[in-house]
Amino acid sequence: MSKKTSYLLGILLTIIIGTLLYCYLCDDCYCCPEDEVTTEETNTIVAEPKVNQVTRNGFSLTDDTGDFNIKINDNFNFKTSNFSILDTISPKVTEGVTKLKDYLLANPLKTVDITGYYKSDETNNSAFPSLGLARANSVKNYLVSQGIPAKQINTKGQLNDDINPDDSGTLFGPLEFGMLTSEEGAVDETLVAVCDDIRKNPIVLYFNTGQAQINLTKDQRTKIANISRCVDKLGVKIQVVGHTDNSGSVTTNMRLGQERADFAKDYLVRNGILETNIEASSKGPNDPIADNNTKEGQAKNRRTVITIN
């Protein structure tokens, strides 16, 4: 082997040995990679429970064509599945109602619209077609008790699943208020026709003595709402008349008919109809609509009629 070849082999061997020593002594060098072990991480995402923010609607009302404007953080509050206003009406709301009364009395062509909200998961135990309308009616009754004329108040109900109660089941202000101006001398012919139809086709209830509650049909609930409108706008009275069959003495049947009429009247009062607008009386066996000689006829005669004068 020539000197030149030996020299080249020596250089090559030196390079190899130096490289091996460098990789061995250097921890951060990527000369001799170890077997790579890939660890796959599994991320488990736990969905947090959805928390609905409590809705708090204030008592806000503006006359766009006048100079009335109130905006109060407080409002009329209700429990879920209930249409009675909670007793804790704030002084600010009371003050706002006083201002509203003064404004409406000074402007008899102005009317305030009250829309009561309700949720689809609430239970309607009122005599009205919807829980929202029953709530609006309760607020209307409060306004009337504070001196605002009923004919200057309109009510309606509306489904609204965006309103959320607090943990105790309290809905804060499930309402909306608006104001309109009517034309002087205007007559609501549609309402007049509705009231005439009630006189021709009153609500007729059949229930047994001792029955604890009245279960109205959908059509009867609508009639209750229309009767309330007739009372407010036309100033009529609700007539509740109790009837019986001809079994027993006239004196006993007159008393029984009155008890039935009073029972229906109490039901209406509990459902937000002002007692001063209801007259209850008895006709006993004196106005039969069917043959008292049959059980079927007697059953039809044992009735309570709700209408308007």
> Do the beta carbons of residue 151 and residue 33 sit within 8 Å?
no
Total Cβ atoms within 10 A of residue 158: 15
Residue corresponding to tokens 């409108």: 229
Q: How confident is the model at residue 215 (pLDDT cuts 50, 70, 90)?
A: confident
> Do the beta carbons of residue 247 and residue 298 sit within 8 Å?
yes
Average pLDDT rounded to a whole number, residues 297-308: 95
At residue 185, the pLDDT reads 80
Using the 8-state DSSP alphabet, how is residue 263 labeled? H
- Rounded CA separation 184/32 (Å): 99
Report which of residues 166 and 1 the model is more confident about.
166
CB-based contacts of 296, cutoff 8 Å, min separation 6 = 290
> Do the beta carbons of residue 101 and residue 146 sit within 8 Å?
yes
> Do the beta carbons of residue 128 and residue 266 sit within 8 Å?
no
Q: Is it the case that residue 27 has pLDDT exceeding 70?
A: no
Q: Which domains does the chain carry?
A: 59-181 (3.30.1330.60), 189-308 (3.30.1330.60)
At residue 13, the pLDDT reads 62
Three-class SS state of 265: helix
Query: For 24-28, 53-57, 72-76, 127-131, which range has the lowest pLDDT when averaged over its residues?
Result: 24-28
Model confidence pLDDT, tens digit, residues 249-262: 999 999 999 999 99
What does the mean pLDDT of the chain come to?
89
Using the 8-state DSSP alphabet, how is residue 151 labeled? G
At residue 213, the pLDDT reads 75
At residue 36, the pLDDT reads 47
> Do the beta carbons of residue 150 and residue 236 sit within 8 Å?
no
At residue 37, the pLDDT reads 45
Model confidence pLDDT, tens digit, residues 165-205: 999 999 999 999 999 998 888 788 999 999 999 999 999 99
